[in-house]
């Protein structure tokens, strides 16, 4: 082999090693560093929730409009999934922008609020930024998801899961699949990327409200294990 060929091979090897290091650093950033960023924001959001829930509720005066419940980026609710062992509750934020989803799962603005008629829709990452929905592929019919808000505890029971195209936005309608229908059910839809490490499709978990209790009554039995 000529000296020129050996030099070219050495250069190719060094290039491949450099590319390998770059890919490794990128993976570390995507999985570990983004997780640290989200964990920090989750701590801040939990503090925000605790503070806001401790304050007295401000009721509007007669004739005044109802105040806006949530603004983009605000802590929205706590998401509990007792069906998944060792799943710590996540703070859900209002909004599903790129910036919002870096802080945790996001409630799609304009969809129902917990307990309301219609469809509460929450999206979250499955691999990066803490991967709040990493194990949602394990949810099946009968599993339960609880949204905790200032008003109370809302327990939704999973009735089906599906894989859809990112273009299939009808799953987020008040009546999934029918944009013109008036809602008669209280639903929760959870969306995340599928398969893992890809945005080619969406994993959809659909659940229906099966229990609602006031906050002062304490957590539902599905969270305390007393049921």
pLDDT in tens, 80-107: 999 897 888 999 999 999 999 999 999 9
Min mean pLDDT across 16-30, 66-80, 164-178 is at 16-30
The per-residue pLDDT of the chain, averaged, comes to: 84
Binned at pLDDT 50, 70 and 90, residue 63 comes out as very low
pLDDT at residue 39 is higher than 70: yes
Q: Show the CA angle centred on residue 44, arms to residues 38 and 48, nearest 5°.
A: 135
Give the separation between CA 164 and CA 146, rounded to whole angstroms: 24
pLDDT at residue 129 is higher than 80: yes
- CA dist 97 → 94, 101, 142 (Å): 9, 6, 30
Give the separation between CA 76 and CA 73, rounded to whole angstroms: 9
- Please give the structure tokens belonging to residue 226: 């007393």
Binned at pLDDT 50, 70 and 90, residue 201 comes out as very high
3-state SS, residue 135? coil
Please report the domains of the chain, with CATH numbers, ordered by start residue: 1-55+73-227 (2.40.260.10)
Give the separation between CA 131 and CA 212, rounded to whole angstroms: 28
- CA dist 26 → 16, 104, 127 (Å): 15, 21, 14
- pTM (two decimals): 0.82
């Amino acid at each position: 082999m000529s000296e020129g060929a050996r030099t070219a091979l050495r250069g190719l090897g060094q290039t491949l090693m450099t590319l390998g290091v770059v890919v490794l650093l990128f993976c570390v950033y995507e999985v570990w560093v983004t997780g640290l960023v989200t964990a920090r924001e989750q701590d801040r959001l939990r503090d925000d929730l605790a503070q806001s829930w401790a304050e007295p509720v401000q009721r509007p005066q007669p004739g005044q409009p109802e105040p806006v419940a949530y603004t983009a980026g605000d802590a929205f609710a706590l998401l509990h999934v007792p069906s998944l062992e060792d799943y710590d509750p996540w703070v859900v934020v209002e909004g599903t922008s790129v910036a919002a989803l870096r802080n945790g799962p996001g409630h799609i603005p304009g969809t129902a609020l917990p307990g309301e008629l219609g469809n509460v829709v929450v999206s979250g990452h499955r691999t990066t930024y803490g991967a709040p929905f990493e194990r949602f592929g394990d949810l099946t019919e009968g599993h339960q998801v609880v949204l905790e808000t200032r008003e109370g505890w809302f327990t939704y029971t999973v009735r089906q899961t599906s894989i859809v195209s990112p273009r299939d936005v009808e799953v987020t309608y008040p009546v999934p699949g029918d944009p013109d229908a008036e809602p008669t059910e209280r639903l929760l839809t959870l969306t995340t990327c599928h398969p893992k490490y890809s945005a080619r499709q969406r994993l959809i978990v659909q659940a229906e409200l099966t229990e609602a209790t006031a906050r002062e009554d304490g957590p539902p039995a599905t969270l305390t294990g007393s049921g």
